Amino acid sequence: MTALCTALPDQLRLLLVDDHRIFLDGLSLALAPLCPDLQIQTAQNAGEAEACLRRHDFDLILLDLRLPDVAGLELLQRWQQQGRLTPVAILSASDSNLDVQAALTAGALGFIPKSANSDDLRQAVTRVLLGETLPAPAAGEKPPLTPRQSQILLLLADGLPNKAISRQLGVSEDTIKTHLKTLFQELDVHTRTACVSAARQRGWL
């Protein structure tokens, strides 16, 4: 690890945002060798992350895509709109090229899979800290949507409630709810607004 750390400053402050406490603890241990004076703060949701950012400046934020209160991409987009300059890398269990592309489009400097081992993780974090943007995998993956899901997504973007969507498509409201649940899971979101926003980021709308 010495070769990796020589180009980094002796002191760094990182913010790790993930809703799993055990993962945060393991991540902190894996990153500990980065530099002699590494200060790590953790947050388990968007609210805690924003509170940390009001108190301190950070050299890097590692952000999970799935948070309990606000989707990671939505939070990243909010920071970009606020003009926040802190570098952000996405750290996620997702292996979807669509998620990678959406993260980079939203302003992330890299997408690091949670499946990475400690050495690969530290190398990726080091590259981002040194100003690199981690390369994205080749694009070309198509949206994993059925024609019905695409129809529902378009009507959702028009602001229609479930009842109106069900009437327009001639299916039950329960069917609409089932499709929406699948869309929410696919897009890692918890609200209708976030669903539309994430779909636009991926170019589905």
Using DSSP's 3-state secondary structure scheme, residue 150 falls into: helix
- Torsion angle in degrees (nearest 10) through CA of 75, 44, 23, 115: -10
Query: Which pair of structure tokens corresponds to residue 129?
Result: 């800290």
Domains of the chain: 2-129 (3.40.50.2300), 147-201 (1.10.10.10)
Query: Which pair of structure tokens corresponds to residue 33?
Result: 């060798």
pLDDT, tens digit (0-9, with 9 covering 90-100), for 97-115:
777 778 888 889 988 888 8
- Give CA–CA dist 9/11, Å, rounded: 5
- Give CA–CA dist 53/148, Å, rounded: 41
pLDDT, tens digit (0-9, with 9 covering 90-100), for 138-184:
444 455 678 888 899 999 999 999 999 999 999 899 999 999 998 89
What does pTM read for this prediction? 0.64
